Amino acid sequence: MPKEEKSKTQEKEITIYDLPGVGPATAEKLESAGYSDVMSIAVASPTELAEITGLTVAAARKIIQFAREQFNMSFVRGDEVLKQRQTVLKLSTGCKAVDDLLGGGFETGAITEAYGEFGSGKTQLGLTLAVRTIALEPDAKVVYIDTEATFRPERIIQIAQGMNLKPEDVLKSIFVARAFNSDHQMLLAEKVEDLIKKENQKVRTVIVDSLTAHFRAEFVGRGTLAERQQKLNKHMHQLLKLAQVYNICVYVTNQVMAKPDTFFGDPTAAIGGNIVAHTSTYRIYLRKGKAGSRVARMIDSPSLPEAEAVFYITPTGISDKPQ
């Protein structure tokens, strides 16, 4: 077998149990701390790994070095990145104005954050995305992490019927999990990888509605801000890894707060601060418009300009025109 092919085979087969000095007990500690694959070990720090496993820093460094040798962790050329980008999909919302705002639709391999006050259309956009994903790829699966009891199968049925899809087939393709606290929410995000690897499910879209509800409720006051942001940062990077490794579209909704020190302009600000802002690939601000409309504004994107789109919530999801 050629050396290059052998290297690729090893990369696919090796697990954390194959790492030198890692027995079942140590592997269990690593997995419980979120280090479930060799790549997560390769990018860890020796001190962090030593604290988790109880090993010496030298032993942890040896494990990390072995993990890094399994991957080609060097630079790639810009044209190679362009080639990789050709696998990215655009998931249409069914609304031309919103699709144009997003450069063709929700992008796989990225996190799209939508924030806004209650009733601004965040959940409706998520439910529409869930059905549209399955309409685009009938064998695709959607994971819906529900933190505020907002998932309604009746609404899924309504949207599916409006698109001439079989509601029972659509519902069977959506995996829903109710998260009861922030730790449970983070664990569910980790379990998505098990759906893909162990159960061979073709997960195309992951929806978290809402991202910050539990974090906001559990960490109250400035004294807990650092801990909250640290956990939120870890959660966002879990989601980003899912998006990039498995070419998944991750859509998260976010709550807002009013900034009383804002004298000019809109005082509405998203929860999560710079942690969520920096990790999200696309950020959309949703607000209520005139005559029952909703307005989506592109706040941040690596390639798209700031712009606005007007849409309406209809029986078939979201639309350019009211019904």
Predicted confidence at residue 265, as pLDDT, reads 61
Predicted confidence at residue 11, as pLDDT, reads 42
Alpha carbon 146 to its chain's center: 13
Distance CA 268, CA 102 (A): 22
Give kind and range of the element (H or E) at residue 314. Answer: strand 308-314
Q: Which two tokens stand for residue 232?
A: 């939120």
Distance CA 60, CA 166 (A): 52
Predicted confidence at residue 5, as pLDDT, reads 45
Predicted confidence at residue 263, as pLDDT, reads 56
Nearest to 144 by CA among 249, 70, 66, 45: 249
Predicted confidence at residue 119, as pLDDT, reads 94
Domains of the chain: 3-69 (1.10.150.20), 84-319 (3.40.50.300)
Predicted confidence at residue 7, as pLDDT, reads 42
Per-residue pLDDT tens listing for the chain (323 residues): 444 444 443 444 688 899 998 999 998 888 877 787 888 888 888 998 899 899 999 999 999 999 888 877 678 899 988 998 899 999 999 999 999 999 999 999 999 999 999 999 999 999 999 999 999 999 999 999 999 999 999 999 999 999 999 999 999 999 999 999 999 999 999 999 999 988 999 999 999 999 999 999 999 888 898 899 989 999 999 999 999 999 999 999 999 987 766 556 666 889 998 899 999 999 999 999 999 999 999 999 999 999 999 999 999 999 999 98
What is the reported pTM? 0.81
Q: How many Cβ atoms sit within 10 Å of the Cβ of residue 119?
A: 13
What order do you get walking across the sheet with 203-209 strand by strand? 174-178, 141-146, 203-209, 249-254, 110-116, 282-288, 294-300, 308-314, 317-319
Is residue 128 classed as helix, strand or coil in its secondary structure? helix
Predicted confidence at residue 249, as pLDDT, reads 98
